[in-house]
């Protein structure tokens, strides 16, 4: 068992098993409606696919991510990117917009995030984001928690999946005007079975037990999840629930 458990990012594995993340981010880019010449911060840019898309539209983009591997993958697309803690952004009034797709649930210091986003925006700038909301991946978390509990290991959710009312209050407390805030289920088809998802994203659970036990835990979770997340043709879905928002720093 490890004391400090972290998520490891492997851009090659991510590309193979999580390509759907950026694809499903397209409506978030639409909600942002980026305009050529705008300066946009992509918070939690991951491998930079959407960052590059906004750059191709003529925006001046900067990607930031806590993972050096992901920042390297973004730079490899020819897009500027920097390693940065999303809860401690170091910008002041520089951006027309802050964009974030499928990243904010990794940062539990949401007040730090919102204070930094607010500071990074020019007055009148917008914050457009989508991430996991209340109920997100609930079945997967339950299956992993149950498998770990059978080994005497209790792991509370490591992620931040807020209820919409609580997140609206947090946005307003940080000074934002909330324009759009939606909370909706988005069951998401997987390229393979749910095992690949758990191995790509589940280290904050699996990291609590010895690697020799990982296979058995994952097998138990897969078996427990099949009735809920696999259809009659054998296709797997992740029980995603999204929170999507557009908020403005008042002018
Ligand atoms: C998500 O995109 O909702 C997510 C991805 C990995 C772990 C937890 C949530």
| Residue 34 CA to ligand 1 centre (angstroms) | 25
pLDDT, tens digit (0-9, with 9 covering 90-100), for 207-229: 999 999 999 999 999 999 999 99
Q: How far apart are the first and last CA of the chain?
A: 50
Please report the atom of ligand 1 found closest to the CA of residue 132: 3
Q: What is the rounded CA–CA span in Å between residue 196 and residue 157?
A: 20
Q: Is the CB–ligand 1 distance for residue 201 below 6 Å?
A: yes
Q: Of 106, 138, 205, which is best to mutate to test ligand 1, by the most ligand atoms within 8 angstroms of its C-beta?
A: 106
DSSP state, 176?
Answer: P
203 C-beta closer than 6 A to ligand 1: no
Q: 26 Cβ partners below 8 Å, 6+ apart?
A: none
Q: What is the pLDDT of residue 3?
A: 55
Which of ligand 1's atoms lies nearest the C-alpha of 202? Answer: 7
Decide: 102 in ligand 1 pocket, CB within 6 A. yes
User: Whose CA is closest to atom 2 on ligand 1?
Assistant: 102
Ligand 1 atom 6 nearest Cα: 201
pLDDT at 157: 97
**Weakly modelled stretches of the chain, pLDDT under 70:** 1-3, 14, 16-19
Residue nearest to atom 3 of ligand 1 (CA): 132
> How much is the pTM?
0.93
* Contact (CB, 8 A) for 100 and 129: yes
Q: Tell me the C-alpha distance between 29 and 54, whole Å.
A: 8
Other CB atoms within 10 A of residue 61 CB: 28
Burial of 163-201, coded b for 16+ CB within 10 Å and e otherwise, reads: ebeebbeebeebebebeebebeebebebeebbbbbbebb
Whether the CB of 137 sits within 6 Å of ligand 1: yes
Residues sharing a CB contact under 8 Å with residue 20, sequence separation 6 or more, in sequence order: 188, 189, 190, 191
Q: How remote is the CA of residue 136 from the centroid of ligand 1, in Å?
A: 8
Q: Ligand 1 center to residue 157 CA distance, Å?
A: 12
Q: How far apart are CA 35 and CA 235, in angstroms?
A: 38
Atom of ligand 1 nearest to the CA of 200: 6
The pLDDT tens digits of the residues spanning 125-165 come to 999 999 999 999 999 999 999 999 999 999 999 999 999 99
What pLDDT, on the 0 to 100 scale, is given for residue 33? 97
Residue 23: predicted pLDDT: 77
What is the bridge-based pairing of β-strands 237-238 and 188-189? antiparallel
What pLDDT, on a 0 to 100 scale, did the predictor assign at position 160?
98
The pLDDT assigned to 2 comes to: 46
What ranges in 40-193 are assigned the alpha helix state H?
Answer: 49-56, 68-75, 110-120, 138-149, 164-173
Query: Which residues have C-beta within 8 Å of that of residue 89, sequence separation ≥ 6?
Result: 41, 43, 64, 113, 116, 117, 119, 120
Rounded to the nearest whole angstrom, what is the distance from the C-alpha of residue 205 to the centroid of ligand 1? 13
Q: Which of 140, 143, 240, 241 for mutating ligand 1's site (highest number of atoms within 8 Å of CB)?
A: 240
pLDDT confidence of residue 22? 72
Phi, psi (rounded to 5 degrees) for 136? -65, 140
């Amino acid at each position: 068992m490890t004391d400090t458990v972290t998520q490891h990012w492997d851009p090659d594995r991510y590309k193979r098993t999580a390509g759907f993340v950026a694809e499903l981010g397209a409506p978030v880019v639409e909600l942002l409606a980026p305009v050529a010449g705008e300066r946009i911060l992509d918070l939690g840019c991951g491998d930079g696919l959407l960052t590059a898309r906004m750059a191709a539209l003529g925006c001046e983009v900067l990607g930031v991510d806590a993972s050096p591997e992901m920042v390297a993958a973004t730079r490899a697309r020819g897009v500027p990117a920097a390693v940065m803690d999303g809860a401690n952004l170091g910008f002041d009034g520089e951006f027309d917009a802050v964009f974030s797709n499928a990243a904010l649930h990794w940062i539990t210091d949401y007040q730090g995030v919102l204070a930094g986003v607010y500071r990074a925006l020019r007055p009148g700038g917008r914050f457009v984001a989508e991430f996991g909301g209340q109920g997100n991946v609930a079945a997967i978390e339950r299956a992993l928690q149950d498998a770990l509990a059978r080994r005497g290991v209790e792991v509370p959710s490591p992620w931040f999946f807020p209820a919409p009312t609580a997140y609206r209050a947090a946005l307003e407390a940080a000074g934002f005007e909330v324009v759009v805030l939606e909370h909706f289920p988005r069951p998401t088809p997987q390229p393979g079975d749910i095992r690949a998802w758990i191995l790509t994203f589940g280290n904050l659970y699996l990291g609590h037990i010895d690697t020799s036990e990982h296979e058995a835990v994952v097998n138990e979770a897969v078996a427990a999840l099949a009735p809920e997340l696999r259809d009659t043709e054998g296709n797997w879905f992740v029980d995603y629930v999204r929170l999507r928002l557009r908020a403005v720093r008042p002018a």
